[in-house]
């Protein structure tokens, strides 16, 4: 299995953080998300869900994302799917741009699984690049955490293949933003390393 140098990643993240003071909106999004996810856990049944949100936000920072709306959406990207918070509540508290990004990233749980997944893939394909950037951070954080999931080898492989389908839908638009996000390559390198560790080819 390929070993990714996470100590280098963490050092880079810490460096970015020191020069990136959180705005009031981003801090409020963080606290709101942590409250709403407080009693939820990851699929291992024990890891608090909000820890995933931290990892998504950290990767947005690492990519040098500066837009407060995108950073706020990083904290809130799961909130419609996983809690009782609606689009309207997000719009009222954080503005329409944040609410729109979160909406683009939310599956419609009212639909049957197959139809829901088909619709979600189309959403990702059509989503504005800001939403796709959050999704890239989300995919990378999820894959990095997959080794801790209580899944067998087959289930993990299925999860990786699903995420690769998502990556293929968004990578073209994101790559065009590279000049605006100097740190993007660090996250792409991490993602490529994880994919290789599961026997998949690089996507970036």
Burial (0-12, 13-18, 19+ Cβ within 10 Å), 154: exposed
**Which stretches does DSSP call E strand in the chain?**
none
Whether 81 is catalytic: yes
The catalytically annotated residue of 28, 67, 82, 203 is 82
Whether 117 is catalytic: no
CB-side exposure of 13: number of CA atoms within 13 Å? 16
Task: Give the CA radius of gyration of the chain.
Answer: 16
Please tell me what DSSP assigns to residue 180.
Answer: G
Owner of token pair 């989503």: 127
The catalytically annotated residue of 81, 92, 108, 158 is 81
Active site residues: 81-82
């Amino acid at each position: 299995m390929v070993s990714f140098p996470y100590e280098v990643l963490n050092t880079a993240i810490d460096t970015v953080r020191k020069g990136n003071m959180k705005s009031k909106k981003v801090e409020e999004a963080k606290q709101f998300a942590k409250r709403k996810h407080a009693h939820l856990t990851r699929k291992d049944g024990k890891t608090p869900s909000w820890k995933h949100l931290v990892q998504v936000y950290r990767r947005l920072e690492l990519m040098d994302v500066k837009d407060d709306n995108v950073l706020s959406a990083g904290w809130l990207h799961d909130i419609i799917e996983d809690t009782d918070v609606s689009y309207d509540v997000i719009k009222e508290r954080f503005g329409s741009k944040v609410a729109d990004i979160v909406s683009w990233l939310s599956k419609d749980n009212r639909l049957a699984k197959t139809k829901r997944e088909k619709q979600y893939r189309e959403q990702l394909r059509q989503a504005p690049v800001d939403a796709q950037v959050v999704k890239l951070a989300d995919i990378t954080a999820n894959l990095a955490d997959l080794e801790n999931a209580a899944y067998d080898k087959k289930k993990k492989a299925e999860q990786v293949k699903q995420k690769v389908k998502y990556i293929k839908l968004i990578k073209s638009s994101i790559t065009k933003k590279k000049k605006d996000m100097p740190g993007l390559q660090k996250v792409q390198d991490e993602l490529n390393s994880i994919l290789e560790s599961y026997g998949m080819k690089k996507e970036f």
